[in-house]
Amino acid sequence: MPNDELIDLARDIAVRAGELAHRRRVEGVEIADHKSSPVDVVTLADRETENLIRSLIADARPDDGFLGEEGGAEQGSSGLTWVVDPIDGTVNYLYGIPSWAVSIAVVEGDPDPLTWRALAGCVTNPVTGEIYTATDAGGAFSGNQQLRVVEPVSLAQALIGTGFGYAAEVRREQGRVVAGLLPLVRDIRRFGAASLDLCAVATGRLNGYFESGLKPWDHAAAALIAREAGAVVTGRDGAPADHAFLLAAPRELASTLERALADLAV
């Protein structure tokens, strides 16, 4: 299937899933479980939304694999895998903060950020109605508007996004890094949804973004969107972005920001 057809399917499913999640949010959020810590929650809507996405993909593409935040992995035979976060920013969703997203990507190869090739990705914020899409070598878009990262700025003029883990000891170290970085940049933003942070780099709402501890579904779609908008998306020392580290920014700023974070021993 050509990438254009994959992105059309991803967008259609993301919009339908977003409508369901938004409807459940209006009705009232119910916590179903906790994951890595007592503050890392799963809602019933997370599970219901992922089940809808999985079923729609299976109907359209029965031979493809699936990797979802809530339901785990299912191997396919086509060489393609759909990597899904049904509600990225669940704590925002729980509190009614309008910064959460449905994220759907299609990747080629093993569902591992170190080796996969992302073919298509869609991130949608159902509250604002914003829909971000990208295809490999096909550009990134918000609706019909093509996205390009903003002109490079110095580190001192850069608005930088980041996020924090759920474990207290991890957050303590991440807070130390942010405290060291804050005097070096324009300011820091923490919106609470990695997929939207990466899309913010693509749109120019952020100059750069970094985070450690991301899962594959957190960035599979949005990293492609940021990259296709002209950002460098990288792990440490030029390696692919993965659980250990992800940084996204225009090339000149990416190098400067990475050096600053290395000095802070990220």
Pairing of strands 208-211, 159-161: parallel
Residue 35 is predicted with a pLDDT of 55
**Domain spans of the chain, in order of start:** 3-146, 155-263
Residue 109 is predicted with a pLDDT of 92
Which pLDDT band holds residue 82 (cuts at 50, 70, 90)? very high
Cβ 69 vs Cβ 52: under 8 Å: no
Q: What is the pLDDT of residues 198-244, one digit of tens each?
A: 999 999 999 999 999 999 999 999 999 999 999 999 999 999 999 99
Least confident of 12-16, 26-30, 58-62, 87-91: 26-30
Q: What is the pLDDT of residues 158-194, one digit of tens each?
A: 999 999 998 889 999 999 999 999 999 999 999 999 9
Is the pLDDT at 30 greater than 80? The verdict is: no
Burial class of residue 170 (count of CB atoms within 10 Å of its CB; 0-12, 13-18, 19+):
middle
Q: What is the pLDDT of residues 104-147, one digit of tens each?
A: 999 999 889 999 999 999 999 999 999 999 999 999 999 999 99
Give dist(CA 162, CA 165) in Å, integer.
Answer: 10
The candidate with the shortest Cα–Cα distance to 208, out of 155, 134, 132, is: 155
Query: For the CA atoms of 86, 90, 93, 97, what is the dihedral angle to 10 degrees?
Result: -130
pTM of the model: 0.94
Task: Report the CATH number of the 3-146 domain.
Answer: 3.30.540.10
Cβ 198 vs Cβ 50: under 8 Å: no
Cβ 109 vs Cβ 117: under 8 Å: yes
Cβ 253 vs Cβ 158: under 8 Å: yes
DSSP-assigned letter for residue 62: T
Is the pLDDT at 44 greater than 80? The verdict is: yes
Burial class of residue 208 (count of CB atoms within 10 Å of its CB; 0-12, 13-18, 19+):
buried
One of 3.30.70.1050, 3.40.190.80, 3.40.390.10, 3.40.605.10 is the CATH number of 155-263, namely 3.40.190.80
Q: What is the mean pLDDT of the chain?
A: 93
Starting at the earlier edge strand, list the strands of the sheet with 101-108: 72-74, 65-68, 80-88, 101-108, 117-125, 130-135, 139-142, 145-146
In sequence order, which ranges of 133-204 are alpha helices (DSSP H)? 168-181, 194-203
Is the pLDDT at 39 greater than 60? The verdict is: no
Is the pLDDT at 90 greater than 60? The verdict is: yes
Q: What is the pLDDT of residues 243-262, one digit of tens each?
A: 999 999 999 999 999 999 99
Residue 129 zone, left/alpha/beta (φ > 0; ψ -120 to 50; rest): left
First to last CA, the chain: 40
Structure tokens belonging to residue 131:
């829909």
User: Across the strands, what pairs with 41?
Assistant: 34
Which pLDDT band holds residue 70 (cuts at 50, 70, 90)? confident
Residue 113 is predicted with a pLDDT of 93
Residue 42 is predicted with a pLDDT of 72
- Cα dihedral 100, 104, 110, 114 sign: negative
Residue 36 is predicted with a pLDDT of 53
Residue 102 is predicted with a pLDDT of 98
The candidate with the shortest Cα–Cα distance to 88, out of 211, 228, 186, is: 211
Which pLDDT band holds residue 265 (cuts at 50, 70, 90)? confident
Percent of the chain at pLDDT above 70? 95
Cα–Cα distances (Å) from 206 to 26, 55, 178, 201, in that order, read 29, 35, 16, 5
